[in-house]
Chain A
Amino acid sequence: MTAEPTAPQNDPAAAVLKRAHALTADYGTAPVKAWKEKNQGGLAIGHMPIYTPRVLLEAIGVLPVAIYGAGDKDIIRGDSYFQSYICHIPRSTIELGLTGMLDSLDGMIFPAICDVIRNLSGMWQMLFPKKWAAYLDLPQNFRPEVGGRFYKLELKRMARELHERGAKALSDEGLRAAIKDENLRRVALDKLAALRSDASWRVPASEAYLVTRAGGAIRAREHAALVEEYVAAANKRSGQPKDNVRVVLVGSFCEQPPFGLIKSLERAGCDIISDDLQLGIDYMEGAIDEKGDPLDALVDAFLHKGKATASRYIGEGRKGAALLDQVKRAKADGVIFAAASFCDPALLDQPMLETACEGAGIPFTSFKYAENTGQFQVIREQAGAFSDAVRLWESAA
């Protein structure tokens, strides 16, 4: 991530935003190096965007590091690994690997997001044979005794393999402590979400994004403190509500839109109240149970509290229900569908979600991007037209 929010020095949140930016600069390498210096022999494990059980990693003393591709970095070698009709994040992630930007990582986890990430896991095994690489098959069956059982075994397998490489053994005690920390983060992220909803003029989405993403290469407890600090600081901001439209941003759960694109949406009069940008860190609705067997609690949290996304089967549930609920909770006026070009899961999901919005009378607009998109003019104009239309619609209603 290269662009940064430019808060004025007298802004109460300036200091925390500066720290958040430093944590995300250079693909999170600085915090990883700092952590490794403090924790000699400790393992740092990268993971692709969504649903990674970071709690498990923290429980065995491993630093989880969210990897989101290389943003707008020039791609020189990664392009030769993928055809032009495949999205951007796998090529830029390979680029990071081949250019040594991920050397401080001891391994990578590829959660089951889509066929591209799945195949990338095999490519990674071949390109970096000395590093640990695991594909994490997330269950699509949500019965505790079936999908839950399988997922639990997957988690144990990962913990065992990492233990063989120097991580601590998985223990109830370690897991309980990590769950507590994750729940602290949950509380902090919920406060951030509430502030976005109640006083969006105090929390630009670009800042909320930065502050959430800053947790990608630090432990949950540390991240919780950072988010709390930001929320407290943002709360101190004065300022007046703006005449912006409130939107939910959907479809950007894997390859991340450029920072400039989020800013462009804001400038076009769209307050992003809620989004699915950070499903690697912020993937649960509610806290993980702190009583009972901690591994069961972690499994149960994925099965029953995992946020909806295109990569997750919804069984007999109604498609789009989760989005409508998200819109309602955010008191949003409309939805922006923003998917990475060639992102099969997001783009195949979109027509169904659009139908749900149509049925509920929720206005929406859609566009595609790539993580290295440099021009936002067209998107900004489109978002501007959308926000004008929504305002008109509301004043007519």
Chain B
Amino acid sequence: MSLVTIGNKGLKGAPPAGAEGSAVTVPVTKDASQQRQKRMIAEHFDRLSTAKEDGKKVAYTFVPGNLTELMGAFEMLPVLPEINALQSGMRGKSGAYISEAERGGHSEDVCSYVKCDIGMLRTGNVGPTGKVLPKPDLLLLSYTGCFTFMKWFELLKEEYNCPVVMLHVPYQADGIITPEMRQYVVDQLKSDVIPQMEQITGKKLNLDKLSEQLARSRRAEDALVKVWESAKNKPSPIDGYFGGVYYIGPIFSAFRGSEDAVAYYEELLAEVNERIKDGEGPMTPAGVMNNQKYRLVVEGPPSWTHFNEFWNMFSNEGAIAVASTYTRVGGLYDQGFRHDPQDPLGTLADYCLGCYTNRSLPSRIDLLEKYIKQYSADGFLINSVKSCNSFSAGQLMILRELEKRTGVPGAFVESDLVDPRYFGKANIENRLQSYLQMLEARKSGALAAATAEKPFVIGSNP
């Protein structure tokens, strides 16, 4: 899974970088943070495009459990194939890429991110800004929260014939990080990951430099948590799902640990605080959203191919996402985790171990329950994507269990990340509308008695 590396609140006028072909229409009031993010991304892709001439080494890696600070300490440049895939989805290119991969023998049953990436590679590897992406010097297989990652990089290894280094991050099956799990990750950093990076870059790891990066990460993380928690306000000054995917861009990708990231998050927080002061909601495709009728918690990734249409379905009806789990795939900072400059390797291990999809199903349910209660949600929605077994297997149980525990009704829709064939617009829209009508009736008391006995489920009712 992954996230958007651009945009911000001003989605209204701000197609994500490289999303020129998408259906976003809108005016042009960009926040300073949004402009900053756009510039950061453009510069990053510029650096990538001249990486070889500049003697910079390039590492391909994944969002969950990404070792950005470590790469930063080696001055390696990260490329995140998940982000390339989602950008391809937003640019309307993923369908063709997926077809290309399927023609080459890839099954229609498997994760569409992988096929989108393979298709993009086979057709020139042109990145979101229109520039050709450099080949990797290293495939850094941060194996956190998803088995498909391993297959994905095995496939890329066949294409690039470059070294791969595996960082196996054990799963939090019992909802805890044990000392053994932590030690195992640290051991691998020492025995495999760092030596491989040293060999490729020809540099020794400078622990002080790593600690400096981690200290900056911490500052950005502090600010991001305040942004998330701002959604406890009514009206909420942010959309914690559709808008949220823009906010996570810098911190889950190439920028954590940089001064740029600190500046971005501090600026974003200031803008959010300003909106709280003014009692203003966030910008959405339907305009500034002050009339917030339904507060929802969302589980599961968005559909990138129909991102704005999907968002519109919410904002047109006055539904706002106050929290989401997808925006936690690259780190659960709001649950207390911060990078610790005093313990550079241990903290990287804790980070990798703590990502959302590396948590057991019961602890995912606990987290969602907490969000529903802490953010005073009226309901919750599960967007179950066909591609992603890591997210999707077990979501029907999440639905049931959350309804049982909170008495808050849930909705369940099915789509896909970047395969446009699986977005049934009318079906999803109808379901969502009926669900919101039901929430309305429930709010007005008409359904209070009924729901007290049996929570409502719209969608794939088990």
Contact = CB atoms under 8 A, between A and B. Distances in A.
Interface of A: 80-83, 85-86, 90, 112, 114-116, 118-123, 125-126, 134-135, 137, 139-141, 143, 145-147, 149-150, 153-154, 157, 310-311, 313-316, 319, 339, 341-345, 347-352, 354-355, 368
A137 B170 contact: yes
A82 B360 contact: no
Interface stretch (B57-65, B99-107, B313-321, B341-349): B99-107
Contacts of A150: 170, 180-181, 183-184, 187
A149 B183 CA distance: 10
Given A126-B361, A141-B168, A153-B180, A348 B394 contact: no
Contacts of B181: 150
Which 5 A/B pairs are nearest by Cβ-Cβ distance? A122-B361, A135-B173, A348-B151, A80-B462, A140-B168
A114 B361 contact: no
B396 A348 contact: no
Interface stretch (B30-38, B222-230, B238-246, B384-392): B384-392
A336 to B, nearest CB: 15
A352 B158 contact: yes
Contacts of A141: 166, 168, 184, 188, 191-192
A368 B110 CA distance: 13
20 contacts: A80-B462, A115-B390, A116-B389, A118-B390, A120-B394, A122-B364, A126-B365, A141-B188, A147-B188, A150-B180, A150-B181, A319-B154, A319-B157, A342-B109, A345-B151, A347-B110, A348-B152, A349-B151, A351-B155, A352-B158
Interface stretch (B71-79, B140-148, B442-450): B140-148
A310 B168 contact: no
Interface string B329-371: 0000000000000000000000000000000111111000000
Contact of A352 (B110, B148, B154, B164): B154
Among B164, B363, B396, the one with the most A-chain Cβ atoms within 10 Å of its Cβ is: B396
A386 B224 CA distance: 58
A141 B364 CA distance: 27
Contacts of B435: none
Contact of A143 (B146, B155, B191, B462): B191
A59 B418 CA distance: 48
- Secondary structure type dominating chain A contacts: helix
B454 to A, nearest CB: 16
Given A115-B389, A119-B393, A146-B188, A347 B150 contact: no
Contact of A145 (B191, B390, B397): B191
B206 interface: no
Contacts of A126: 361-362, 365, 397, 401
A121 B360 CA distance: 8
A82 B166 contact: no
A125 B390 contact: no
Contact of B394 (A119, A319, A352): A119
Contacts of A341: 109
A115 B150 CA distance: 12
Given A112-B147, A118-B147, 14 more contacts: A81-B396, A83-B396, A83-B460, A126-B401, A140-B150, A146-B184, A146-B187, A146-B192, A319-B157, A341-B109, A344-B148, A345-B151, A349-B151, A351-B105
Contacts of B143: 140, 313
Contacts of A90: 393
B392 A86 contact: yes
B142 to A, nearest CB: 12
Which one of A120, A347, A348, A355 has the greatest number of beta carbons of chain B within 10 Å? A348
Contacts of A120: 393-394
A112 B365 CA distance: 21
A236 B111 CA distance: 49
A85 B386 CA distance: 6
Interface residues of B, number: 55
Contacts of A348: 106-107, 110-111, 114, 148, 151-152, 155
Interface string B174-190: 10000011011001100
Nearest to B364: A122
B247 interface: no
Contacts of B104: 351
B395 interface: yes
A149 B184 contact: yes
A25 B395 CA distance: 32
B168 A139 contact: yes
Interface string B374-406: 000000000010100110111111000100000
A115 B173 contact: no
Contact of B147 (A82, A115, A153, A339): A115
Contacts of B361: 119, 121-123, 125-126
A155 to B, nearest CB: 11
Contacts of B363: 122
Contacts of A342: 109
A349 B152 CA distance: 9
A343 B110 CA distance: 8
A360 to B, nearest CB: 15
Contact of B107 (A310, A313, A350): A350
B212 interface: no
A350 to B, nearest CB: 7
A202 to B, nearest CB: 36
B107 A347 contact: yes
A348 B392 CA distance: 18
B324 to A, nearest CB: 19
B182 to A, nearest CB: 11
A343 B105 CA distance: 15
Contacts of B174: 135
A83 B389 CA distance: 10
Interface string B107-142: 101110010000000000000000000000000000
B187 A311 contact: no
Contacts of A368: 107, 109
B271 interface: no
A112 to B, nearest CB: 7
A81 B362 CA distance: 15
Contacts of A114: 147, 389
Contacts of A115: 146-148, 389-390, 393
B414 interface: yes
Contacts of A153: 180
Contacts of B401: 126
A343 B163 CA distance: 27
B148 A137 contact: no
Contacts of B147: 112, 114-115, 118, 311, 344-345
B265 interface: no
A122 B107 contact: no
A349 B111 CA distance: 12
Nearest to A312: B150
A139 to B, nearest CB: 6
Most buried by A among B163, B181, B184: B184
Contacts of B148: 115, 344, 348
Most buried by A among B143, B163, B173, B394: B394
Nearest to B412: A83
A219 to B, nearest CB: 27
A310 B151 contact: yes
Nearest to B390: A115
